[in-house]
Chain A
């Protein structure tokens, strides 16, 4: 029978469990332990001192050791660690120091205080003996530690063969290595970079990248937590960090010199200055360190490397070999064994193994009678296992049978050179039988295949040369002749249009001026109108009948009145005989014979119109002459 606990009881139990776990964690009391990695050290060499704070809470600043005569103590950084075992969490913070005696003797490193959560905790005092000698003093397994003996050391020290470059600062240097000094063409060789430092160091990347021309490159991604370890070189301790790994595949035989580039690092200038930010930013090797501390840039140049690339042996080279090097296996799958004519059947070839998988060549497909063959898609998946580039490459080949019946897709060969065995290997697909049923007629490739973009091949430029000569002799056609004349025609059209534009503009201006100066225009036109009228009257004067005579004198009177009205810009109603005589007297003088003659002409006109008397021809000529003289006389007047 199941016991069912009420909800509030379950909540209480959970809270109690969390509280008890927290209590356990809080209950652990903070301790401070100082330890040396060795009790004896050669004068001029270094020992490592660690101050370890166990289960400390809050911001803990690095303790400062008081000066000791003939003994240098330098702060070298900090590291923090947290573990959770069976629900019990514990944390530790380590402050590292480098201890270097200058004289032979026994030195006492005094106790220092560490403030943990407001409490002052004192470290234990330590003793170190400085001895004479130039050799390396091996690290003692027995630690001169007090309470710290309960804490296992997390930094094991290895002996390293790396050597700092001559003439450079031997406290920090970088080394580049290749996995093999001699490889076959297209065989993988690993180029790795390691940084050795005695400082609180930050890796900033490559100042100048290595020159790797002649190699196909596959880079290993930088791990988030850069592997590092403590190593010893010539008695000096270093933190070693692997910063870069690159797989190289030489493309041609020969001797290569690899310029390894330059690495940029920054080191903390004041190793002993710590502040509250240390806790948050940590002084981890690659995680940035204290953002606000002063840092000095160091450019490190690893030694150049030499590598010999051997050509692949000619002996035993298979026909199907296309330059692939590595260790591979091949698998082939045909998507069906029965197919209709002109329908596609797809073969998927998978080549997997260790080597430059991305560059693996597609196995050659023989020219098969009765098939159309399309080399379709290919894709590769590259993986990095350990220090080895491996993966798989998949090729798809589409076969379209044209003839019905029993057919075979013969084995496809893939050859490669195995650098481990030092010989060529050849892999073959099985001989696939294929039953081709009678299908729809027509050699057309099915749309499903044609629409696959992967089926289409890329064109390739095989060589470069200049383009061929132009052999056609140009014949001057009518069009080209017209084209030659276009310029002239356009110029003529422009001139014509310009002339038209000018003429139109002039007319518009004239009209505008006339509309604004109607009186002046009338005055100017008076003479020409009068002359025109005189010419008309001359024709009329030739007639002999009485009606024509009457008409002549009517027209004469009207023409004279019109002339005077135009000349003086009078309205029709203003133009009276008295007014005309007055104006003429004003202009010519009352005694001028023309004034008398004009009056006479007017009277003659009246007689002719109203008395209907027959006038002699001479009187017509006389009146016309008087009219002309008056016009000429008045036109001369300003």
Chain B
């Protein structure tokens, strides 16, 4: 009888233990939802654990939607700024501005981060890049595309109405002329923006002092050194090297590992 009780107890104990283990594994194996990770990273940031917060934000970014990325990159930029990693902070603020060019907080923090940079570079960009910075940098490609589609639909609709009239008057009068003119302008801007994005990929120098060479190898003579956090334009890309154009008009080759692409 005692033996039976002992065996029964052992069985009961083993089942309980097994259940606890399986339950524990299940609970621990339950994947943390992205918004929970985001909240956890925020709490870590608030308590001053910027490095851990940055790790979580970094891990969250690749699978997030565009709206989520905007917030993740902004918070990641703040974490990097607090850690003194100005180049990475600038890269992330630039990514936010790439997603939302009118993000006021990102602009403000970017200015603050840039103000702390050791190096500066004279702005001698050509007209097209300058124009992009001033005008096209303020608006997103998708917004220009939607504007072009909306205007073209409006123009087509007005043309349909005109064509369906029994005795249609002159075609190129208000509002068709005006809408068509604006449509052409928007299409030109859109094309310009697309061209810019295809040919000038913006990047941030991540290395503290990155060497720029005359050719895509270390054997080529060194052209200059670029300080971390400076923005460059990638105009050509090879396996390990990128040809960059600097704000002062110089062009040379940098290692890809020294650069952080803004467009993700």
Contacts and interface: CB of A to CB of B under 8 A. Distances in A.
Interface in A461-490: 464-474, 476, 480, 486-487, 490
Contact of B112 (A466, A493, A494): A466
A522 to B, nearest CB: 24
B163 A505 contact: yes
Interface residues on A, range: 20 to 34
B75 A467 contact: no
Interface stretch (A21-29, A257-265, A496-504): A496-504
Interface string B32-66: 00110011001001000000000000000000010
B68 A494 contact: no
Contacts of B145: 487
Given A473-B68, A490-B150, A504 B160 contact: yes
Contacts of B108: 466-467
Q: Report which residue of A467, A472, A487 has the largest number of chain B beta carbons within 10 angstroms of its beta carbon.
A: A467
A119 B48 CA distance: 99
Grouping DSSP codes into helix (H, G, I), strand (E, B) and loop, the B interface class, with mixed when no group exceeds half, is: helix
Contacts of B184: none
B104 to A, nearest CB: 8
A504 B42 contact: no
Of the listed residues A470, A491, A493, A505, the one surrounded by the most CB atoms of chain B closer than 10 A to its CB is: A470
B45 A465 contact: no
A501 B160 contact: yes
B146 A486 contact: yes
Contacts of B142: 487
A143 B158 CA distance: 105
B65 A494 contact: no
B163 to A, nearest CB: 5
Given A474-B71, A508-B163, A469 B42 contact: yes
Interface string B137-163: 000001001100110110011011001
B109 interface: yes
B67 A501 contact: no
B107 to A, nearest CB: 10
Contacts of A474: 65, 67-68, 70-71
A317 to B, nearest CB: 36
Contacts of A472: 71
B149 A491 contact: yes
B164 interface: yes
A515 to B, nearest CB: 13
B163 A469 contact: no
Contact of A470 (B65, B74, B112): B74
B159 A501 contact: yes
A497 B156 contact: yes
Nearest to A497: B156
Contacts of B190: none
A23 B160 CA distance: 102
Contacts of A508: 163
A122 B146 CA distance: 98
B105 interface: yes
A504 B164 contact: yes
Contacts of B159: 501
B109 A493 contact: no
A497 B149 contact: no
Nearest to B33: A473
Contact of B105 (A467, A491, A504): A467
A470 B153 contact: no
A473 B109 contact: no
Interface in A75-97: none
Contacts of A470: 71, 74-75, 105
A553 B164 CA distance: 44
B242 interface: no
B247 interface: no
Residue among A473, A497, A500 facing the most chain B CB atoms (10 A cut-off): A473
Given A473-B39, A487-B145, A504-B163, A466 B74 contact: no
B261 interface: no
Interface string B89-127: 000000000000000010011001100000000000000
A467 to B, nearest CB: 4
Contacts of B160: 497, 500-501, 504
A490 B146 CA distance: 8
A480 B109 contact: no
B78 interface: yes
B35 to A, nearest CB: 4
A471 B65 contact: no
Contacts of A468: 78
Given A466-B78, A490-B153, A473 B71 contact: yes
A471 B72 CA distance: 9
A480 B81 CA distance: 31
Contacts of B42: 469, 471
B38 A473 contact: yes
Contact of A469 (B65, B75, B112, B153): B75
Contacts of A505: 163
A474 B73 CA distance: 13
A199 to B, nearest CB: 45
A469 B74 contact: yes
Interface string B162-195: 0110000000000000000000000000000000
Contact of B146 (A466, A467, A487): A487
Contacts of A504: 160, 163-164
Nearest to B158: A497
Interface in A34-78: none
Contact of A490 (B38, B113, B149, B164): B149
B67 A464 contact: no
A493 B153 contact: yes
Interface string A439-473: 00000000000000000000000001111111111
Contacts of B34: 473
Given A466-B113, A505-B163, 13 more contacts: A466-B109, A469-B79, A472-B71, A474-B70, A476-B65, A476-B67, A490-B146, A490-B149, A493-B153, A497-B156, A504-B160, A504-B163, A508-B163
10 contacts: A465-B112, A466-B108, A470-B75, A470-B105, A471-B42, A473-B35, A474-B71, A476-B65, A487-B142, A500-B160
Interface of B: 34-35, 38-39, 42, 45, 65, 67-68, 70-71, 74-75, 78-79, 81, 105, 108-109, 112-113, 142, 145-146, 149-150, 152-153, 156-157, 159-160, 163-164
Sorted from nearest, which 9 A-B pairs have the closest CB atoms? Answer: A497-B156, A490-B149, A474-B67, A473-B35, A466-B109, A469-B75, A467-B105, A504-B163, A470-B71
